[in-house]
Structure 1
Amino acid sequence: MNATYALRRQEIVEEEPPVAEMRIAKEFTRLTSMDINKFYEGLESHLHKLLQLFRLKRFEEVQDMTSLMESLDKDASNQRKKAAALQGLPWYMKENPSTLMKRCEPTDPGEDFIKGMVIGILLVVEDVKEPLPVSYNDVAIVIEEKIVMRHLGDVPNAFVNLMGLLYMLNLDYPKEMKYTFEVIQRLFMGIRSEMCTPRVHSLKNKLLS
């Protein structure tokens, strides 16, 4: 996060979608020899079992998780399932996603919500109490309290571009969310899947059982 980051941001991140997304995908492939869209394949392959595991685990004291699953029950479209899986994953991995994902309404001052946000996703929605809205006013990626990409459409697309940026800019995963990002890296994207930590390896066994 220095002159190198500033230069890369100027070169790539300030481009408007879909140009920025294409450049991120190309750079990710250069760095990993892997198509970044493998993220979607991995998420899709584990989607049913992951949501099943969410429902089997007790989350009585986590209202956000309860609200998430109740919202999914109202409309279990495939796109909403993907958003629910990604939003619920941190809770399942015993991490708090409040530092990674924030919601605000269009009339809220966005700078107040991204203050202190090192790496994360900002969801601009009409109703912040609805965890799975029908549509988003905006979906943006935040790095060091600055919105670096916006108009990403939905939660899965925000995650895939965030992963691309982390690799492209050589940024570490947030320590408080290390297991969540490890699941995405190892299990969804298949990058060094044999190097899972015990907690992620346990989830891998459950997903494959």
Structure 2
Amino acid sequence: MIFFQDLTFSLRIKEIVMDEPLVSVVQQRWPGLLIEQQVYTEYYCITQVQLKETSLTSLDKYSTALIKMYRAKGGKTAHELKSLLELLDEQTMDVTTHKRATVLQGLPLYLREYKKLSTTCHDTDSLQIYTNEMKIGILEVVRHHETNPGAAAMNVAVVIEGRVVIEELVDFTTAFVILVGLLYARNIQYPKELKYTFETVQKVFLNIGDLYSHRVLSLKNMLYKC
């Protein structure tokens, strides 16, 4: 027997893959798909992988090795990684949450990709000024009086095609995991500027796919040696 929900899922996936609708169309036709828990459910239906649990487990598994690799990195990206790691070193509370975010934020730098994953703005700013320029990314909103680069965000949002699709998320890591789920489930191509970052998350952290680029395979081999 084919349940109605299964049939709806099949038809929806077919339409998304064939028609490649804009995110604005998805928001209108299936607004429920842009809810945090539903993103996890949809991802599991497609991949049979628990997106949030597997991502967090892998981040915790590899964080010590990756941070060690970040600290040892030289060359062009060393300064930016150092600044990121200094912010982590200053944290005294909820260190695990900060460590996960540091790993994800440092990954593009380590992989020699210089497109930022996130943008920070103040709550008094016009969000549209920032989202209009974001094809894919994460927007972190801090209070207007905050000047500390490591200030906690009061709102974290996922942006796709210049639109905020999910907001009021608990932290950067949650937003990034949801972004990965949305890109995969909506059949949106990973941005070229961050293709190695997303490949690492998909193939190393989530263990989906076995054909690695040389750059990601090198990182994976280094992780296994640490």
TM class by smaller structure: 0.7 to 0.9
| Residue number in structure 1 paired with 2:128 | 111
In the TM superposition, what whole-angstrom CA distance separates every residue of 1:121-172 from its partner, at most 9, and x where no partner exists?
A: 0011244651x33x31110011111111101111110011101111221100
Task: Give the distance between the partners of 2:115 and 2:122, measured in 1 at CA.
Answer: 18
| Residue number in structure 1 paired with 2:98 | 80
2:51 is paired with a residue of what secondary structure?
coil
Instruction: Report the residue type matching 2:56 in the other structure.
Output: Y
> Which is worse superposed, 112-121 or 79-88?
112-121
1:95 is paired with a residue of what secondary structure?
coil
TM-score in terms of structure 1 length = 0.88
Do the aligned residues in 2 keep the contact of 1:13 with 1:149 (CA within 8 Å)? Answer: no
Do the aligned residues in 1 keep the contact of 2:33 with 2:39 (CA within 8 Å)? Answer: no
The 3 A distance-change label for structure 1 pair 104 and 5 is closer
1:177 CA displacement: 0.5
Provide the alpha-carbon RMSD of the alignment: 2.0
The 3 A distance-change label for structure 1 pair 186 and 106 is same
| Residue number in structure 1 paired with 2:137 | 120
Task: Give the distance between the partners of 1:186 and 1:128, measured in 2 at CA.
Answer: 37
| Residue number in structure 1 paired with 2:70 | 54
1:9 CA displacement: 2.2
Written as runs of structure 1 = structure 2, the 5 A alignment for 1:151-190 is 151-190=168-207
1:36 CA displacement: 0.9
Instruction: Report the residue type matching 1:34 in the other structure.
Output: V
1:120 is paired with a residue of what secondary structure?
strand
| Residue number in structure 1 paired with 2:48 | 33
- Confirm whether residue 96 of structure 1 aligns to residue 111 of structure 2: no
Do the aligned residues in 1 keep the contact of 2:77 with 2:110 (CA within 8 Å)? Answer: no
- Confirm whether residue 139 of structure 1 aligns to residue 156 of structure 2: yes
Do the aligned residues in 1 keep the contact of 2:183 with 2:190 (CA within 8 Å)? Answer: yes
The 3 A distance-change label for structure 1 pair 88 and 128 is farther
Larger radius of gyration: 2
Task: Give the distance between the partners of 2:180 and 2:140, measured in 1 at CA.
Answer: 17
Task: Give the distance between the partners of 1:186 and 1:61, measured in 2 at CA.
Answer: 24
TM-score in terms of structure 2 length = 0.82
Q: Unaligned stretches of 5+ in structure 1?
A: none
Q: 2:31 aligns with which of 8, 12, 15?
A: 12
Task: Give the distance between the partners of 2:184 and 2:56, measured in 1 at CA.
Answer: 17
Instruction: Report the residue type matching 1:9 in the other structure.
Output: Q
1:63 CA displacement: 4.5
Task: Give the distance between the partners of 1:163 and 1:203, measured in 2 at CA.
Answer: 19
| Residue number in structure 1 paired with 2:39 | 24
In the TM superposition, what whole-angstrom CA distance separates every residue of 1:65-97 from its partner, at most 9, and x where no partner exists?
A: 332111111116111111111111110000113
